[in-house]
């Protein structure tokens, strides 16, 4: 709807400007009476420049026409133009490509505004630079769904009129750009991490790599231990205490922290995988930070005073109340390949206690059909019912060899029970992907470090605790309410009095509950896809090799 609206606005703008100039004047409707507005030479020049700038500035032309072509950026001692140039100079701080905004050309144009034509040209350049930079800073350079089909995030893109209205409404030129950038603490953290790495490189503080060799364990000593200690310090972890070349207990704790933060077994044994993680180049780390800055711009929205965040590569779900994390649980997410968990936001409306599992078609045809063709009693043994045209059938009386993946006209349902694939409760936020959070009888998977095993939905390790937390706002006895429905054995929906936003995100650089910055494994390869798109848009890392 917004896209169609913008197209109509632009078409109307072009028609309006063309008609105005064909009659040699511009009419403004006020109180249903046509009043001719006589424009100054400067205003006429700006109107002509905007009308010749093409459809990209059609909506801006309408905005300026409504204010009789009074400039925004080159008027009043060019306060907002100066602020714009200053903001563009800060673009690299945000990982945005300054060349994309033609800042040098704009600066030169604003120094030469001695006549109406040059002043109008500078104003048009300023409008173009502002609209591009404001949109990039506020909602990201990329349109997520155009980068990858699993990125269903709706970046908060504003239309041209909204962005230009921000300039008019800004109480102070400095506040204009500060209000556009994301306010979430994670964005601040990423900016600080980017500056830390760049500062370290500028000061020539890049640490040596850890050489290959035997596994380093507590008690071992030698120059490779010193390399490991220095490398840990250079990438933001404490270097520990004691002798540089001795792997002591203090260093062991730091190594275990590093391993846990990077999806490794935190046993303190430094083998090839830990060494590879330690030896990631500063360029690789910066690339990861730049990708995550872009992701945070996509999420530059109010996430809800209470909200749930699932961080897919961290394998955790967290509940936040007024900016503070009040709950965390391990998760299992979608497998690498065709059942990846997508990124999107929606609103949790209710939970289902004692849920039935309505088996997805993809699982029926790809996994269960072969089992039935080998043994037509296979589903009975798993407690799964089979239906044809809404009526339950006895699978032992069906010849399943006549069916295939393209034609299998039955549905399957697993009723509530101890072995149900969804466990005792599922949490629903209706969405196009049919993704939800749920319990699981397969508890052993939560003991693994990397937990990408599901068909796309998110399994939670502490579903009961999550249910009680959500219910605590609408009953004095959440435990009793939950247990009453559970004991009934019946599938029971319990609606939330206050629906809760849910954000499924893919943050590979983030701060864990202990405050440690983690560089997580890119389990689905999405970082590489996003960075390639950023590079195509002009983002680059102009740093010496570490």
**Lowest-pLDDT range of 151-160, 192-201, 318-327:** 192-201
**Residue range 481-490: mean pLDDT, rounded:** 97
Percent of the chain with pLDDT over 90: 74
Host H or E run for residue 177: helix 173-180
For residue range 371-381, list pLDDT tens digits in order.
999 999 999 98
Per-residue pLDDT, 409: 92
- Strand 452-454 and strand 324-334: the pairing is parallel
> How many whole angstroms from its chain centre is CA 311?
9
For residue range 319-331, list pLDDT tens digits in order.
999 999 999 999 9
Residue 456 φ/ψ region, left for φ over 0, alpha for ψ in the -120 to 50 degree band, beta for the rest: left
Please give the backbone phi and psi of residue 177, each rounded to the nearest 5 degrees, phi first.
-80, -30
Distance, CA of 526 to CA of 311 (rounded, Å): 14
Placement of tokens 């109008």 in the chain: 120
pLDDT band of 462, cuts 50, 70, 90:
very high
pLDDT band of 488, cuts 50, 70, 90:
very high
CB 72 within 8 A of CB 66: no
pLDDT band of 32, cuts 50, 70, 90:
very low
For residue range 347-403, list pLDDT tens digits in order.
999 999 999 999 999 899 999 999 999 999 999 988 999 999 999 999 999 999 999
| DSSP structural state of residue 193 | H
**Residue range 116-137: mean pLDDT, rounded:** 96
How many CB atoms lie under 10 A from the CB of residue 165?
13
Q: What is the pTM of this model?
A: 0.86
How much of the chain is in helix, strand and coil states, percent to nearest 5?
A: 45, 20, 35
3-state secondary structure of 324: strand
CB 88 within 8 A of CB 132: no
For residue range 514-534, list pLDDT tens digits in order.
787 888 889 999 999 999 999
3-state secondary structure of 179: helix
Per-residue pLDDT, 114: 85
């Amino acid at each position: 709807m917004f896209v169609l609206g913008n197209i109509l606005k632009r078409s109307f703008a072009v028609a309006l400007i063309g008609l105005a100039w064909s009659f040699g004047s511009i009419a403004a409707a006020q109180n249903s009476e046509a009043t001719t507005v006589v424009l100054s030479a400067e205003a006429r020049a700006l109107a002509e420049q905007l009308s010749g700038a093409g459809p990209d500035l059609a909506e801006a032309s309408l905005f300026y026409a409504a204010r009789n072509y009074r400039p925004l950026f080159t008027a009043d001692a060019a306060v907002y133009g100066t602020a714009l140039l200053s903001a563009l100079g800060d673009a690299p701080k945000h990982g945005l490509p300054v060349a994309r905004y033609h800042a040098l050309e704009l600066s030169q144009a604003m120094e030469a505004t001695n006549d109406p034509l040059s002043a109008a040209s500078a104003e048009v350049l300023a409008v173009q630079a502002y609209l591009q930079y404001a949109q990039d800073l506020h909602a990201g350079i990329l349109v997520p769904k155009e980068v990858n089909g699993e990125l269903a995030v709706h970046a908060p893109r504003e239309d041209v009129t909204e962005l230009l209205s921000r300039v008019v409404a800004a109480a102070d030129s400095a506040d204009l750009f500060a209000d556009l950038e994301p306010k979430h603490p994670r964005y601040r953290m990423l900016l600080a991490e980017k500056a830390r790495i760049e500062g370290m490189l500028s000061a020539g503080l890049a640490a040596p790599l850890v050489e290959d060799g035997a596994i380093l364990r507590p008690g071992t000593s030698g120059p490779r231990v010193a390399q490991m200690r220095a490398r840990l310090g250079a990438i933001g972890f404490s270097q520990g205490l004691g002798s540089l070349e001795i792997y002591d207990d203090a260093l062991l704790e730091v190594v275990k922290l590093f391993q846990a933060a990077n999806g490794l077994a935190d046993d303190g044994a430094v083998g090839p995988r830990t060494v590879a993680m330690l030896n990631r180049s500063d360029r690789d780390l910066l690339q990861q930070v730049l990708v995550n800055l872009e992701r945070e711009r996509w999420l530059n929205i109010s996430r809800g005073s209470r909200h749930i965040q699932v961080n897919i590569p961290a394998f955790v779900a967290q509940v936040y109340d007024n900016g503070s994390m009040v709950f965390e649980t391990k998760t299992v997410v979608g497998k690498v390949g065709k059942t990846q968990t997508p990124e999107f936001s929606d609103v949790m409306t209710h939970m289902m206690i004692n849920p039935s599992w309505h088996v997805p078609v993809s699982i029926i045809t790809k996994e269960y059909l072969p089992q039935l063709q080998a043994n037509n009693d296979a589903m009975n043994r798993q407690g799964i019912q089979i239906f044809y045209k809404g009526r339950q059938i006895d699978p032992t009386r069906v010849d399943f060899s006549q069916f295939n993946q393209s034609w299998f006209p039955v549905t399957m349902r697993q009723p509530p029970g101890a072995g149900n694939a969804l466990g005792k409760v599922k949490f629903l936020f209706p969405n196009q992907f049919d993704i939800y959070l749920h319990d699981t009888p397969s508890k052993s998977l939560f003991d693994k470090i990397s937990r990408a095993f599901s068909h796309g939905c998110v399994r939670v390790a502490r579903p009961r605790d999550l249910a009680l937390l959500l219910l605590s706002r609408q009953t004095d006895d959440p435990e009793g309410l939950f247990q009453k429905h559970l004991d009934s054995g019946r599938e029971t929906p319990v609606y939330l009095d206050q629906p809760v936003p849910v954000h499924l995100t893919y943050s590979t650089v983030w701060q864990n509950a202990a405050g440690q910055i983690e560089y997580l494994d890119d389990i689905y390869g999405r970082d590489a896809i996003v960075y390639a798109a950023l590079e195509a848009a002009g983002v680059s890392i102009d740093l010496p090799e570490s």
